[in-house]
Amino acid sequence: MLVKQAILSEDFHYSMVGGLVEELRLLTSTNFIIFRVSSVSRNCNRFAHELVVVGRNCDERSETIINSLLEHIDVIVAEESSAHE
């Protein structure tokens, strides 16, 4: 929610993260035709959370990152699908 508020308002302009917020705005406006910020509950965001955990454990110089992510994506999708059946 704070990221959404920071991006959509000027409330964080003079804060310690103001420069990061401005850089994020610049990157999104120059790289995307449409950019929308939304927030979801943590329960609905498990997939993104799991990918962040996997990404933190990957060596950025390794070429196996994509393969590792694809394997984890398959597992997460399968678990989520079975939980909603």
- pTM of model > 0.95: no
Average pLDDT over residues 35-60: 72
Q: pLDDT tier at 71 (50, 70, 90 boundaries)? A: confident
| 3 state DSSP class of 61 | coil
- Residue 51 CB coordination number (10 Å): 14
Mean pLDDT of 10-27: 86
Q: How high is the pLDDT of residue 44?
A: 65
Chain segment 19-29, per-residue pLDDT in tens = 888 998 898 88
**Contact present, 61 and 32 (Cβ < 8 Å):** no
> Above 60 in pLDDT, residue 85?
no
